[in-house]
């Protein structure tokens, strides 16, 4: 095994250890956050309810903003789309009736 291979192997092992440590740290932080939230609800229920309502309103506003941006982007794409050649509405209606078994 060359020195370069050993270096790559050591880097990979280090990256794997760091990933596990970050995951453990994140899991511990989630536990702490849950305890803090439970204590807040227990000791200051009114404030917790206000914060909960504010957070939900903020999330709803973010969701609404994303939806508006998506609609605007879709409208922009539609505006720049190639126009489709128009066909006779009579022929289209006749074709639809024929396909659906409503001849005449």
At residue 9, the pLDDT reads 97
At residue 87, the pLDDT reads 55
Q: Is the dihedral of CA 24, 26, 27, 31 positive or negative?
A: positive
CA distance 88 to 95: 11
CA distance 37 to 28: 14
Q: What is the pTM of this model?
A: 0.53
Q: pLDDT tens across 34-93, in order?
A: 999 999 999 999 999 999 999 999 999 999 999 999 999 999 999 888 766 555 566 666
At residue 1, the pLDDT reads 86
pLDDT greater at residue 96 or residue 10: 10
């Amino acid at each position: 095994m060359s020195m370069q291979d050993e270096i790559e192997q050591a880097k990979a092992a280090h990256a794997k250890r760091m990933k596990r440590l970050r995951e453990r740290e994140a899991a511990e932080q989630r536990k702490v956050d849950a305890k803090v939230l439970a204590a807040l609800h227990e000791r200051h229920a009114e404030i917790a309810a206000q914060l909960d309502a504010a957070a939900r309103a903020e999330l709803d506003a973010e969701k609404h903003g994303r939806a508006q941006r998506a609609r605007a982007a879709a409208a922009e794409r539609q505006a720049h789309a190639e126009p489709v050649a128009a066909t006779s509405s009579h022929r289209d209606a006749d074709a639809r009736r024929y396909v659906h078994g409503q001849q005449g």
